Structure 1
């Protein structure tokens, strides 16, 4: 006898989180920016109105809506209106240039493109698509697009139409999430409604277990990626979402908003977290601050930066590890474990596996390795995405025997803590020895006058590859490159000592706040110091 149903199985539409919150907490604050506050009822009403306008435009279940905009109050309106209709949201990083966005649009073939009011050049490049504009200035004059989102919302709000959350089913796509790679064919990870409902639940369970409608979060990163996923958890709980008025990070404004709105949670990346720590108000007392969960992810954070953040902010740091393909849902390092776990080779742990997920460390042939043995970090569980859109080659490479292959290298210790040593694609071989750049970076950060370091493998006629290091010295330091090289020779295994070190005022970062191999190589190329390819 079989128990498998032949009928499609319904699942929760992500828009239903908003529907439920607006019903339960209609008058509680939902979205705040500057002097404007929308309640959950008002926010839900705007979603209804925009969904009506989009439906009249022809957006239906399965349609794609591409959103290219800086954070604004109606950014989340677009997301939830899209989902309310059963359509698929396709957010892009607002920092991308027109030539960067065109191939993304070609990949997903959007039925509607919504662009920031400032993106006239993007509109010209995307002229083949139906275009609307979006922004917080109510009466802005925009020279492109057939309509503006704020005016559409005003127009359709007067009709008072109610749009019911469209039925969705297991494996119904909700979000095409572009990976943060910097070269090659664009890849869109397909995130489904049921997968994302698990992610939202798990983020609350493992990252912010006491989140309530009395909390508030401050958005410091683009809602197109991790910050957007973080915001979904607050919609589910009815916690207020506070937007900065600045499009770029202003640490002074961030601290002012934290104090004004009693902000209790934030999602950020290490580069932004470090700037916030450095800008903490004089006499900042963690015991008197509203912050309870400062969640960071996206890149490793050095042990020294962790200690500085703990000293400044207190035991409120939450780290998670997870690629966009697993939507930030592989491991968690909760506040109580920060600063208390072993750090072999100076590398802090990424924490333990998330609830409902499974990690396997595997060798090149897919054999599972014992604790302490380094290999590729592979993962399975409900947070793993459905695959890349229209890219069977990438899917075949990403999955093996049902496991998603992260491309990251690491090991699990005897207690279940994961240590990430680097990416397989970043590793280089010098004189026959494998070198993880992160191991060298952590060693460089042991020097008291080095505040940041990035290491990349460069071609070398003798050794095959050698390490090139870009270091940021402490501003008031008198450290020289020769002194740092001498220190490296005294404190590192010989083959790991960088062949070349250069100083910079800051490391190059991507639009996602990451220091990548490609950016480091580009920096050395721009300086004229990258060797001729061997």
Structure 2
């Protein structure tokens, strides 16, 4: 073993269960688990996974909606030193098969109704040894609850010894190449992230608080819940996969919820829903939103309705939400359009193309360094090298810092757009469209959308003598890529506008759409 620089992150639950055994840890669908009960279930799952041959460093693929099993699988993986590989439950079987194969997962945990996803992973991956199902195990699969019941509880302090750089989570993030890459999050890095979230996003968090989850635990919400477990605050889940604002507000009142992590589109939906006036939400102290810029009018409406409890941050999976923060008291007119200042212990710089720092007010690429930066992309040395050029992590976003150090994002270096808080990379939809026999060329751009922030419009050219229409092409996309990645509109053109080099710049596509009055 190396120097004593890291604790096993699974001990966040172990420690809290010892300190607050009878305190509620998780509430879902009218059922509550205490920290002692949750920890006992996690320990049984840890033993069950060991029994299936999962060893330190092995990957466990989890394709599930928010549930107790999501949190249990996260902490069980951490405790045995395995790597948690969660997916967005909205992904198609083909997309999940790629994640299973590229991570070389040895066990898959799947939610009810996702048998087809498990079959796709089995077909694609040579490494998958076992599938554990929640409630509808098919032939050759194990039932989750049966597995837990049969497991022998491990002795105290069974958590695997880990070092700072040992991986605990593969956070899949799409690149401009279209294929998702696994950002490797480590025990040491994530310990810093949890501490930083407590310091910068939710100062003063204790077991007297409560947190409502309104986003998938597979991504930012899962990171957010680690801080709740560390401090002993109960986590409250919505009952179903479909977001229900009325239920959310009822839960805020019932559990005196003090914090939640969300994205601007969900926050705006919550604030505009009539239920906001039917329930008491005075307990809210930290309503944290991230993932996309928030329109000023929506921000003002939220402040007016909820009071000074909005906390904004800018972050990426690779820096695990840890780049900037705009506190409630900083939501002021002079900071309009800003996503705040560098997080504690982190440094943000605006660099030009040669890697030189820009002066305040000058635009360049937003780059960051500090202990929250990930360890690199799994088995992708070239992508890691590019991301870390010059000793900084390059976000691919463009922006500027003012003289006070407040960051303003001005655009994106890539063509990515953000729809409903999710990053969408046009190339994935473009490549899927090109698999249709009639499609010769395709270009997708994100344009402002009143509900989703941004949404995609695909511009398609057909092969000579062949025809397609919008419904046909949307039907073609449905089984191939997740719904949130699909363009909402498809327009058919005779030709795509091209530059002198024969390329199809997205700026020319946008200009032609504007000229034709096409948008949302």
Structure 1 length as normaliser, TM-score? 0.78
The two structures, once aligned, show a CA RMSD in angstroms of: 2.9
Alignment counterpart, residue 98 of structure 1, candidates 93, 98, 106 = 93
Equivalence map 1:118-133=2 (5 Å): 118-127=113-122, 129-133=128-132
* CA–CA separation in structure 2 for the residues paired with 1:530 and 1:181: 30
Give the structure 1 partner of residue 167 of structure 2: 173
State whether structure 2 residue 247 is matched by structure 1 residue 253.
yes
Give the structure 2 partner of residue 432 of structure 1: none
Once the two structures are superposed, residues 56-75 of structure 1 have per-residue CA deviations (whole angstroms, 9 ceiling, x without a partner) of: 11111111111111111121
Once the two structures are superposed, residues 419-458 of structure 1 have per-residue CA deviations (whole angstroms, 9 ceiling, x without a partner) of: 001111139xxxxxxxxx99xxxxxxxxxxxxxxx9x9xx
State whether structure 2 residue 375 is matched by structure 1 residue 376.
no
Distance of aligned partners of 1:62 and 1:149 in 2 relative to their CA distance in 1, 3 Å threshold: same
Once the two structures are superposed, residues 334-362 of structure 1 have per-residue CA deviations (whole angstroms, 9 ceiling, x without a partner) of: 0011133244xxxx100011000001110
Once the two structures are superposed, residues 20-44 of structure 1 have per-residue CA deviations (whole angstroms, 9 ceiling, x without a partner) of: 1001000000011022100000000
Segment drifting more, 177-186 vs 334-343: 177-186
* CA–CA separation in structure 1 for the residues paired with 2:494 and 2:12: 51
Q: Secondary structure at the match of 1:126?
A: helix
* CA–CA separation in structure 1 for the residues paired with 2:243 and 2:410: 29
State whether structure 2 residue 257 is matched by structure 1 residue 267.
no
Alignment counterpart, residue 528 of structure 1, candidates 483, 487, 492 = 492
In the alignment, structure 1 segments of 5+ residues that lack a partner are 1-5, 428-436, 439-453, 457-464, 474-512
Alignment counterpart, residue 363 of structure 1, candidates 343, 346, 352 = 352
In the alignment, structure 2 segments of 5+ residues that lack a partner are 419-423, 427-442, 452-481, 499-520
* CA–CA separation in structure 2 for the residues paired with 1:469 and 1:17: 42
* CA–CA separation in structure 2 for the residues paired with 1:307 and 1:199: 29
* CA–CA separation in structure 2 for the residues paired with 1:230 and 1:282: 23
* CA–CA separation in structure 2 for the residues paired with 1:285 and 1:523: 34
Structure 2 length as normaliser, TM-score? 0.80
**Conserved? CA contact 1:363–1:375, under 8 Å:** yes
Give the structure 2 partner of residue 424 of structure 1: 413
Alignment counterpart, residue 111 of structure 2, candidates 107, 116, 139 = 116
Q: Secondary structure at the match of 1:113?
A: strand
Segment drifting more, 394-403 vs 161-170: 161-170
Distance of aligned partners of 1:355 and 1:124 in 2 relative to their CA distance in 1, 3 Å threshold: same
Equivalence map 1:263-412=2 (5 Å): 263-281=257-275, 283=277, 289-343=282-336, 348-412=337-401
Equivalent residues, number: 446
Equivalence map 1:51-70=2 (5 Å): 51-70=46-65
Q: CA deviation at 1:318?
A: 0.4
Distance of aligned partners of 1:164 and 1:471 in 2 relative to their CA distance in 1, 3 Å threshold: closer
* CA–CA separation in structure 2 for the residues paired with 1:469 and 1:188: 28
Give the structure 2 partner of residue 152 of structure 1: 147
Give the structure 2 partner of residue 491 of structure 1: none
Equivalence map 1:484-499=2 (5 Å): none
**Conserved? CA contact 1:48–1:161, under 8 Å:** no
* CA–CA separation in structure 1 for the residues paired with 2:165 and 2:255: 38
* CA–CA separation in structure 2 for the residues paired with 1:388 and 1:528: 37
Distance of aligned partners of 1:291 and 1:132 in 2 relative to their CA distance in 1, 3 Å threshold: same
